[in-house]
Amino acid sequence: MSEGYFGKREKLYLDDLYSALISAHHILHYHSVLDAYGHVSVRNPDNPTASFWLPQNLAPALLTSGDDLIEYKIEDGEVMEKEDAEKRQHFSERYIHAEMYKKFPGVNCVIHSHCTDVLPYCVGSVPLKSMTHMTGFLGSSTPVWDISSASSNHNFLASNLTFAHSLAASFKPATSTSFIYQKMRSALPPSIGGKPPDPSQFPDHPVVLMRGHGFTTCAASVEHAVFQAIYTREAAIVQSTALHNQAAWALELDGAGMEGKVDVEGGGKIKSGKVGGDVGKKLKFLSEKEAGDAWEAMGKAVGRAWKLWVREVEVAPLYRNEVVKQEEEA
């Protein structure tokens, strides 16, 4: 699953995985990717085609122990144990996770977020694209899934298998295997799947935006999925800031990038002429090859960030992770 928790299989203990899943929720809350909503799941390494773990319906920051985690069936998103179905509350969008694991056998972690910084790219015509080397995993395009294409139920929740199946399908459009994901796979250490990619195992896009809702991301490890979620937010912040800066520069009084003049006393309205050119076209985005090469390099360094992020939430009073790792018990 990951170099830290799914490396050599004989050294993986489920308590280590539970601890990582709880830490993932804390980290994403700490970095403003999750708030009171959103969730992270992990595939069951002992039963990879049958089940996955997802927390019960709690705010991410409040998860504390293995008792907060529930095992669900990949087949239909329902609970494995009847006792869990009766005693605990469940996320209505757990079907997102079930369908992702069903469609992509190589995916082992799925994250769903409503991050505010990303939402503007879920509702407009401006595409979210990779601009920096840290966000190369996005490639040269990020799809936007519209739930209205799957149903007339417009509450925007992927709360059944039909909606979730439609969302999962948007990760892998009917095209050739993505160059960027081949680069992503080659960036992984051999112990976690760093071998020639099997196109049937993975999506073309690691991130899909959801109109009026948020985004979903997936990866072969917990660490990589968390990295992608955090840097999807960073990508949105950088691109939004760059667009604002470019637009402001185009309206400078010295006329740079603008035809006509600005009537400052009249409230900043353009008296005549128009802003010259398309602001977005003046920005430098990464090409598909640049994005792939950048992620091939950065994907190998995800562990450094993960260790920092775990430590950040360990020392923050809000977060409690009471799962005792097997290595700590020895």
- Nearest of 106, 114, 96, 4 to residue 54 by alpha carbon: 96
Catalytic entry in 78, 83, 86, 93: 93
93 is catalytic: yes
DSSP labels, 94-148: HHHHHHHHHH-TT--EEEEE--TTTTHHHHSSPPP---SGGGGGGTT---EE-GG
Q: Where does the chain show beta strands of DSSP type E?
A: 39-43, 51-55, 69-73, 109-113, 144-145, 207-210, 214-219, 262-263, 269-270
Half-sphere exposure of 100 (CA within 13 A, CB side): 32
Distance of CA 101 to the CA centre of its chain: 15
- Give backbone dihedrals phi and psi of 232, rounded to 5 degrees, phi first: -65, -45
Q: Contact, 185 vs 194, CB < 8 A? A: yes
**Would you please indicate which residues are annotated as catalytic (active-site) residues?**
93
